[in-house]
Structure 1
Amino acid sequence: MQAIARQGPIASVFVGLATRPGSFPSLVMTSTRHASHFKNTHRVAPCASTLVQCRKRAFSVQCQQYDQRQELDKNNHLLHSNPALNDSSPSKPYQNNNTDRSVTRSESTTSGQEPGPLDGFRILDLTRVLAGPYCTQLLGDLGAEVIKIENPKGGDDTRAWGPPFAKNLDPSDPAQESAYFLGINRNKKSVTVNLRSEEGRQLIHDLVRRVDVLVENYVPGKLDQMGLGYKELSALNPRLIYTSITGYGQTGPYRMKPGYDVMIEAEAGLMYITGEENGTPVKVGVAVTDLITGLYAHGAIMAAIIARSRTGRGQHIDCSLLDSQVVTLANIGSSYLIAGQEAKRWGTSHPSIVPYQVLPSKDSHIMIGAGNDGQFKILCNVLGLDYLCEDPDYKANQDRVRNRKALITILTERLQTKNNEEWLKALEGRGIPFAPINNIAQTFAHPQVIARDMIQEIDHPKVGKIKLAGPAVKYSETNPSIRIPPPLLGQHTDEVLEHVLGYNEQRIQQLKEKKAV
């Protein structure tokens, strides 16, 4: 074989794909000085120009992938091998935690699942109720090891929030596991710690030296008083990402006020715009402000991890229910800020599109959204009301908005002549948005929910098999997963103290005797 070459350090380049499934494609480069390294993985076509073009295209793709791999290696180098921040440096109080993370990786290995994108990261969870636990559950689903710190006397408040409770395998056991707690605390290890004791606080200090992220939802200043604030803990671990979730934030006149989902819904405008047009304000059916705050905190933590890969330093994240709810007003908020337009309650209707709302059928309700004039024409055809498309009062959307009440009356009268199932079949495939109003049982029985593996089972040590809503996002690699069930109170205390902190049996027993754990 005659190589097609040019002068220079690399005389000829050939690219061969590695044969091991899932491996990074190998890049084989042959230089005039190292010709013995060349490995031909394919027969070379006799046409030199064709060979050059094929190799160029392949080499371009491989170079892009190689650059991405190099960038990944550079970030990993910053994370684990930066000499200025090396954990073994005697000038740094933060201790090396890389070996400790074998505990995290083993969870994926023993469960037979591939590691998630946050495999190898450790989260210290000092939160309770919903916003914080939801945030840390998301991180746990992504593969992080989450150590949930709980009060030895009762633990997370939501453990007692019921009914409903899961049915115990042992009917004589009076302690019950609430469905609320089980729904937001999977992929976590429960460690009981008495934060009022000096030994308990020292235990937290020891853990902080070995974690990447701390998440807490105490009133601002409370943890500072206990020696567990950002200033003190970041001195122990400069790479610590310290995340505070509060009602109103770390600054401002309301900073010391406790925050609750429904109160923030009321105070931050959401309740004012939710409900029927002439009805009273109502809250959303789930604690949506808590949930979106947990999502914002989770996203902020992910971004801080990326920032740390560049700077080598952690930071303090200040996330509040109020801020999260205000920004989630989205277009309603911008309509006021930009145009001075105050919002109102519309029920399920749309302020600028008609018809776009829930309408009653003979036996139930159906959500219909004719977002443009073409879709309205289709709807009229399905309903047998074609004349409306030519009526000047309804032909264009702006006319329909102006004559909203009259049009909705006509549509309602027609829809109430048939049951829901008949209308759903008639609308199917016609190019108009519509949906049934499903209850929760119907939602979890939905064929698409089942096809997307959104209901997952896991064995719980006390109640047996439980079903949980699976992770919402799918990855082509490093898929999120449910690896361990929601923990019993203090279930992992001994494990974490021994394997993460290296405490011996005598030390652990002393902490128990002092009621520190």
Structure 2
Amino acid sequence: MYDLLSGLTVIEGSAFVAAPLGGMTLAQLGANVIRFDPIGGGMDFKRWPLDKKGNSLYWSGLNKGKKSITINIRKEEGRDLIKSLICAPGPENGIFLTNHPPGGPLNFNDLKSKRKDLIMLNILGSHDGTPAVDYTINCALGYPMATGPRNSENPVNHLLPAWDLVTGSMAATGILAAERRRNRSGKGELVNLALSDVGIWVASALGHIAESALLGRSREADGNHIYGAFGHDFVTKDNCRIMLTALTKAQWKRLKTAMKIENAVVDLENKYNTDLDDEGSRYEFRDAIVSLIEPFVSQNDYYTIKVILDDNGVLWGPYQTFDELVKKDPRCSEANPLIQKIFQKGLGEFPAAGLPLRFQELEEQPLKPAPSLGEHTDEVISNILGLPDHIISDFHDRGIIA
């Protein structure tokens, strides 16, 4: 964590992945991110995976460094409290991050009437406001049809909620851009960010849309090959699986040397009058290259292959389970400054990742765990709204806050 955004307050009303990730990104940059939830917790509070006591690892993962308040949103007084927090005066207040459906009690026009320079970033499913989640967006983008075994007609969904993750990071970027504009012009902004738009934006950036529009074709599933270059998985003698790649001419040269296939590659080039130093040609002859490499890998155990690959500077990686990542990979240990041990109330101590950004001239702050549900309710209402203790106690007694 860093203190780059210290003083900046962001009120977060969220669920799922994208909005909480955006808020956590800002919190780990030093912003005062305050997440509000219903009394007793919303849908994220018990979202899987859970520990044996029913504590959500999801909650602890996506809310590190935030403050938590719980308010009875169904009561008008509760909604008024949230509105007051969102529209609190001061140059570093008045920022709201949410994925709540537009048009509800916390809609932009209503909030703007209370603070004209309000910044609100609203994450939507689709640009027209229709609901969608990562998994209903992903299936429509074409990626599941281009994932899986070659010649398969069945789609393959992936575990990673990619569009949520990109959207969350873009939400943080959007808030910082809007805040910069407000500092310069004094004007607020409603920023809409749709999951479907993010997915289409990525598909456009990677050439999939142009490939369809200009060439009249869709990318097809091709197993574990890397499109347009050379990369594939291989199994060692002791049944460990690795990924080998050669994207550049230099990487290709190292791979040929390590696998002792230089002469076989020359024969292949001569036979088909091709130059496999060319990245596209390596993709075109990917199956032939795999057949050259497979015997060498399959005849050696993992450790032997690892030494050979490392000694020759080959670009490669092992296939691992999450458990293997945590227990065996030094990149996921305290040997990497990214990883710190945190103590999470209810869960205990475990390793967690801080912000991947490494500012070389800034001192990094200790990683803060996720808050307990409602841990900061009284503190936030007192500090931001300036309400006295007896009013806060009355809110508790009447079930407005907890």
Q: How does the TM-score come out when normalised to structure 1?
A: 0.69
1:476 to 336, 353, 360: 360
2:30 to 110, 131, 143: 143
Q: What is the match of residue 137 of structure 2?
A: 264
* 1:447 maps to 2:317: no
* Structure with larger RCO (C-alpha < 8 A, sep 6+): 2
C-alpha distance in 2, partners of 1:130/1:399?
40
C-alpha distance in 1, partners of 2:258/2:361?
44
* 1:505 maps to 2:389: yes
1:396 to 243, 250, 275: 275
**How far did 1:477 drift?**
4.1
> 1:382-408 deviations in whole A, cap 9, x for unaligned?
223332121124762355444433332
One-letter amino acid matched to 2:275:
A
Q: What is the match of residue 208 of structure 1?
A: 86
Sort the Cα spacing of 1:151 and 1:435 in 2 relative to 1 into closer, same or farther, 3 A.
same
How many residues align? The count is 385
**How far did 1:270 drift?**
2.6
1:427 to 275, 288, 309: 309
**How far did 1:144 drift?**
0.6
C-alpha distance in 2, partners of 1:467/1:289?
26
**How far did 1:284 drift?**
2.2
Describe how 1:85-484 pairs up with structure 2 within 5 A: 116-153=3-40, 155-165=41-51, 176-210=54-88, 211-221=93-103, 223=104, 226=105, 228-249=106-127, 251=128, 255-256=129-130, 258-279=131-152, 280-329=154-203, 330-333=205-208, 334-354=210-230, 356-362=231-237, 363-372=239-248, 375-391=251-267, 392-393=270-271, 396-397=275-276, 400-444=282-326, 445-450=328-333, 451-478=335-362, 481=365, 483-484=367-368
Sort the Cα spacing of 1:504 and 1:282 in 2 relative to 1 into closer, same or farther, 3 A.
same
One-letter amino acid matched to 1:248:
S
C-alpha distance in 1, partners of 2:169/2:201?
13
C-alpha distance in 2, partners of 1:399/1:310?
51
The alignment partner of 2:171 has SS state of helix
Are 1:230 and 1:316, in contact at CA under 8 Å, matched by a contact in 2? yes
Are 1:359 and 1:412, in contact at CA under 8 Å, matched by a contact in 2? yes
> 1:157-194 deviations in whole A, cap 9, x for unaligned?
222123431x6xxxxxx6x3211111111111111112
C-alpha distance in 2, partners of 1:328/1:120?
33
Are 2:65 and 2:368, in contact at CA under 8 Å, matched by a contact in 1? yes
**How far did 1:311 drift?**
0.7
Are 2:66 and 2:370, in contact at CA under 8 Å, matched by a contact in 1? yes
**How far did 1:338 drift?**
4.3
Are 2:119 and 2:175, in contact at CA under 8 Å, matched by a contact in 1? yes
> 1:94-152 deviations in whole A, cap 9, x for unaligned?
xxxxxxxxxxxxxxxxxxx8x61110000101011211111100010011111111011
Q: What is the match of residue 72 of structure 1?
A: none
**How far did 1:373 drift?**
5.1
**How far did 1:220 drift?**
2.5
* Farther-moved stretch of structure 1 (115-124 vs 501-510): 501-510
One-letter amino acid matched to 2:185:
T
**How far did 1:377 drift?**
4.2
One-letter amino acid matched to 2:224:
T
Please identify the structure whose Cα radius of gyration is greater: 1
Are 1:145 and 1:188, in contact at CA under 8 Å, matched by a contact in 2? yes
**How far did 1:265 drift?**
1.0
**How far did 1:501 drift?**
1.2
**How far did 1:350 drift?**
2.2
**How far did 1:483 drift?**
4.9
> 1:219-260 deviations in whole A, cap 9, x for unaligned?
232x2xx2x2111212222232101011113x3xxx23x221
C-alpha distance in 2, partners of 1:467/1:237?
41
C-alpha distance in 2, partners of 1:478/1:291?
26
Sort the Cα spacing of 1:377 and 1:467 in 2 relative to 1 into closer, same or farther, 3 A.
closer
**How far did 1:204 drift?**
1.4
C-alpha distance in 2, partners of 1:337/1:322?
19
One-letter amino acid matched to 1:120:
G
Sort the Cα spacing of 1:321 and 1:305 in 2 relative to 1 into closer, same or farther, 3 A.
same
The alignment partner of 1:485 has SS state of coil
Are 1:186 and 1:487, in contact at CA under 8 Å, matched by a contact in 2? yes
The alignment partner of 1:242 has SS state of strand
Sort the Cα spacing of 1:449 and 1:145 in 2 relative to 1 into closer, same or farther, 3 A.
same
Are 1:332 and 1:343, in contact at CA under 8 Å, matched by a contact in 2? no
Between the two proteins, what is the percent identity of the paired residues? 26
Sort the Cα spacing of 1:447 and 1:502 in 2 relative to 1 into closer, same or farther, 3 A.
same
**How far did 1:287 drift?**
1.5
Describe how 1:12-23 pairs up with structure 2 within 5 A: none
Q: What is the match of residue 52 of structure 1?
A: none
> 1:471-517 deviations in whole A, cap 9, x for unaligned?
11111344564553211111111111112211122211222233222
Are 1:393 and 1:403, in contact at CA under 8 Å, matched by a contact in 2? no
C-alpha distance in 2, partners of 1:140/1:149?
15
The alignment partner of 2:396 has SS state of helix
One-letter amino acid matched to 1:182:
S
**How far did 1:436 drift?**
1.8
Are 2:354 and 2:367, in contact at CA under 8 Å, matched by a contact in 1? no
Give the root-mean-square deviation of aligned CA atoms. Answer: 2.3
C-alpha distance in 1, partners of 2:171/2:399?
32
Sort the Cα spacing of 1:118 and 1:401 in 2 relative to 1 into closer, same or farther, 3 A.
closer
Q: What is the match of residue 59 of structure 1?
A: none
**How far did 1:314 drift?**
1.6
Q: What is the match of residue 5 of structure 1?
A: none
One-letter amino acid matched to 1:371:
L
C-alpha distance in 2, partners of 1:347/1:156?
40
Sort the Cα spacing of 1:478 and 1:500 in 2 relative to 1 into closer, same or farther, 3 A.
farther
One-letter amino acid matched to 2:132:
G
One-letter amino acid matched to 2:347:
V
C-alpha distance in 1, partners of 2:101/2:336?
39
Are 1:393 and 1:399, in contact at CA under 8 Å, matched by a contact in 2? no
Sort the Cα spacing of 1:318 and 1:376 in 2 relative to 1 into closer, same or farther, 3 A.
same
Are 1:123 and 1:146, in contact at CA under 8 Å, matched by a contact in 2? yes
The alignment partner of 1:157 has SS state of coil
Structure 2: state its 5+ residue gaps.
Answer: none
